[in-house]
Amino acid sequence: MTTRHSPVVVGYDFSHTGRAALHRAVSLAARAPHHVLHVVCVVSSGAPIPSIPVYDGVDTMYAARIQEALALAIQQELEQADVTSRINFFVHARIGKPVEEILAIAGEVGADLIIVGSHGLTGIERLVLGSTSEKIVREAGCSVEVARPKQYPDVELMPVVELTAQDHTYVPPHRYEYEDHRVLLRPVEWPLY
């Protein structure tokens, strides 16, 4: 039996919202290890990553340093999430425009899902700079999840109460059939065809 892998592209830019996207992707892959993560950091030639110093400009050597820093960030997220199963991931560092490069990688790997963060730009900032996550949602050829750091407080949920057989009697499911624009109730024992 062969297992089909599900490629997930994750936009990561070493920001707070990028970490939220990576956290969401790691949580997904930990629960369902058939997801293969493709974590991509896109840097433009005029705007390097603030935490990674530039020596000779944004070039392939700089992209290689970004890949190393990205692999370390992913390892830290995996350790923090206490992942015990095997997770496969690729690290991509691209030079260019974030929307174009993220969508290009999604097309190259046949992504089933793209996870990106949102910086929450509003007003003039959004009008002038545009929203990367919004453009990806509009132009992607697959589902897109916009991840944000949780801001809601933790809420204590009602306790789950186990029911005993005397508290609950079994009600079998009803069988329905849809034909000629009508939904008809049918006996469960009727054959399916």
pLDDT single digits (tens) 141-187? 999 999 988 888 888 888 888 877 676 677 778 888 888 888 988 88
Nearest of 45, 175, 38 to residue 108 by alpha carbon: 38
Q: Do strands 6-11 and 35-43 pair parallel, antiparallel, or not at all (unpaired)?
A: parallel
What mean pLDDT is reported for the chain?
86
What pLDDT, on the 0 to 100 scale, is given for residue 167?
A: 64
How far apart CA 177 and CA 175 sit, in angstroms, is: 7
What pLDDT, on the 0 to 100 scale, is given for residue 83?
A: 85
What the chain holds in terms of domains, given with CATH numbers, is: 6-147 (3.40.50.620)
Per-residue pLDDT, averaged over 88-96, amounts to 94
Per-residue b/e over 40-65, b at no fewer than 16 CB within 10 Å?
Answer: bbbbeeeebbeeeeeeeebeeebbee
What pLDDT, on the 0 to 100 scale, is given for residue 125?
A: 47
**Does residue 124 surpass a pLDDT of 80?**
no
What pLDDT, on the 0 to 100 scale, is given for residue 57?
A: 82
What pLDDT, on the 0 to 100 scale, is given for residue 128?
A: 43
Report percent pLDDT > 90 for the chain.
Answer: 48
How far apart CA 124 and CA 129 sit, in angstroms, is: 8
Nearest of 58, 122, 62, 66 to residue 91 by alpha carbon: 66
Residue 44 pLDDT level (bands cut at 50, 70, 90) = confident
**Does residue 66 surpass a pLDDT of 60?**
yes
